[in-house]
Amino acid sequence: MTIFTRFFGLNIFNMSDDISRGCPIKNIDPEATNCRIIYSGKLNVFDWLNDIPEGIDKNEIYEVRFKNTRKGYYYNQNGLRLSTGDIVAVEASPGHDIGIISLKGPLVLCQLRKHNINLQSEFKTIYRKVKPVDIEKWKEAIALEIDTMIESRKIAADLKLDMKIGDVEYQGDKTKAIFYYIADDRVDFRQLIKVLADRFHIRVEMRQIGARQEAGRIGGIGSCGRELCCSTWMTNFVSVTTTAARYQELSPNPQKLAGQCCKLKCCLNYEVDSYIDERKDFPPSDVPLLTETGKAYYQKTDVFRRVMWYSVGDANSLDLIPISVEKVKEYIQMNKRGQKVQLEATVNESESQEESIDFSQVVGQDSLTRFDQSKRKKKKHNRGRDRNNQRPQQGQNPKNNQRNDSGNSENGGGN
C-alpha cells in the first residue's frame, strides 16, 4: 500500500490500515462509516455507470467485499441510501458481519450472471450503516487475526495434520472466524475444530482453498511488474499445462514458468489460442530433412514470422539455418519423392530483424544529447586549466628555471 501511494502521489488517511482489508482506501469520515476507495486491488470492478442518478430500490442488490478477495451479495431491504465505499453491517450466521460496499447498480446483476448466481435465490440482508461501536469491535477482531493464524498453525502441527493454514478472517462481531487452509489430500480436522473453538472461544469454519486462491488472497507483484491476475480480476482458474508453453516455444524452465503460487502461470493460457491457429498449416517438426550433406534436424520456430530453424548433421549443432514454412513443406515433399535437397537459408536474418528505433527531436523539446555536448566542452576547458595549474613555478625545476630565465631575458631585451 505504501508503494502504491508513493508511486501515484496519493494521500492515504492517517489511520491504520486495518479496516482496508487488503485494498487501499482513503477519506474516512469522522464517524468512520464511509471510506472512499482509491483502487480496489482485490478483484475490483470498474463501475462505469456510477454517475447515473437512481432512486432507492428496497430490493436492490449490493456487492459487499470483506477481507481480500471474499465478496458477497446482499439485499437492501431496509431502503438505506447507500453508495460505494460505505461500511455496512450485514446479515451473517450467526450474528452480523462488517463489510465495505464495492459495487452497486446494474453492474451487480452482470456480476451475478458472471458467477452463475441465480437471481431467485435468497440473499442475505444489509442491516445498517455501521456505528462507531461496531467499528471498534471490528478493529479488535481484525487485530487478533495474525496471532490466531500463528497459533492455529502450531495446533495443527501438534495434531500432525498435513495442512497449511494460510489466512484467518474474523467476523465483524468477533463471534466467528474462517480458517483458510491448503491440503493435498482430505484432512480430518474435527479434532482441530474442537481445539480451536476451545482455545479462542469462537465458532470455527474451515474453508479449503487452492494454491492459486491463496496467492490471490495474499497478493503480490508478478514477473511482468503488474499485480497478480488472481488478485486483481481472475475468479475462475483454468488448468494450465506445459503444452501451452510448448506451443509458444517457451523455455521449459520451471523457475520461469511457475508463478508465486509454485504452479504454472495462468498467463500461459492467454495467447496459446493464437499460436494454435497460426500453427495449423505448419509442417511436422519431428521429420528430419534429407539433404545432400546429411540429415537436417529441427531446432526452433518463430511462429508469427513463419520461420523454422534447422541444423545439418548434429541434432545439437548451433549452426542454424532459417527456412520459411512454405520452403520446408516443399523440401518434405521432395524427400517423399526420394530427392535430396540443397539446404539454403531462405530468410535473410539481417532483413528480418526489426530496425532499431532512433529517437528524434520533436517540436518543443531539447536535443537528447545536449548533456553529452556540454560535458565534452567542460572537459576540454578543464584540461586546459589543469595544464596551466601543472606548470611548475620558478625555482622548482632547474630545467624549467632555465627556460623561464631565457624567457625573462628575451622579455627584458625587448623592453
Question: For residue 191, is pLDDT > 60?
Answer: yes
Count of domains for the chain: 3
Least confident of 142-156, 171-185, 237-251: 237-251
The pLDDT of residue 16: 43
124 with 188, same domain: the answer is no
Q: Taking the model in full, what pTM does it have?
A: 0.66
Q: Is residue 373 part of a domain?
A: no
Residue 179 confidence (pLDDT):
96
Q: How many CB atoms lie within 10 A of CB 19?
A: 19
pLDDT tens by residue, 133-151: 999 999 999 999 999 999 9
Specify whether 208 is located in the same domain as 299. Answer: no
Per-residue pLDDT averaged across 202-226, rounded?
90
**Is residue 43's pLDDT more than 90?**
no
Cα–Cα distances in Å, from 355 out to 74, 292, 322, 346, 360? 56, 35, 19, 20, 15
Cα 413 → chain centroid: 84
Q: Are residues 91 and 166 in the same domain?
A: no
Higher pLDDT, 413 or 326: 326
Interior CA angle at 249 toward 244 and 254, to 5°? Answer: 65
Q: Are residues 152 and 192 in the same domain?
A: yes
pLDDT of residue 206: 94
Does pLDDT of 158 surpass 90?
Answer: yes
Last residue of a domain, one of 98, 119, 139: 139
Which residue in the block uniquely carries the three cell numbers 494460510? 166
pLDDT tens-place string over residues 95-139: 999 999 988 888 888 888 888 888 888 899 999 999 999 999 999
Exposed, middle or buried, 64 (CB in 10 Å: 0-12/13-18/19+)? Answer: buried
Q: Are residues 300 and 342 in the same domain?
A: yes
Between 301 and 25, residue with greater pLDDT: 301
Q: Are residues 73 and 164 in the same domain?
A: no
Q: Highest-confidence range of 145-154, 231-240, 246-255, by mean pLDDT?
A: 145-154
Q: What is the mean pLDDT of the chain?
A: 78
The domain boundary, picked from 196, 213, 230, lies at 213
Higher model confidence: residue 372 or residue 159? 159
**What's the CATH code of the domain at 160?**
3.30.300.20
Last residue of a domain, one of 300, 329, 352: 352
Is 243 within 8 Å of 237 (Cβ atoms)?
no
Highest-scoring range by mean pLDDT, 22-26, 178-182, 409-413: 178-182
Residues 176 and 198 in one domain: yes
Q: Are residues 108 and 170 in the same domain?
A: no
- Same domain for 25 and 60, yes or no, is yes
| 18 and 61 co-located in one domain | yes
At 302-345, the pLDDT tens digits run 999 999 999 887 666 677 889 999 999 999 999 999 898 888 77
**DSSP letters for 324-393:** EHHHHHHHHHHHHTT--B-----S-HHHHSPPPP-----TT---TTHHHHHHHHHHHHHHHHHHHHTSPP
Q: Are residues 133 and 17 in the same domain?
A: yes
Q: How confident is the model at residue 34 (pLDDT cuts 50, 70, 90)?
A: low
pLDDT, position 328: 92
The boundaries of the domain holding residue 162 are 144-213
DSSP state of 120: T
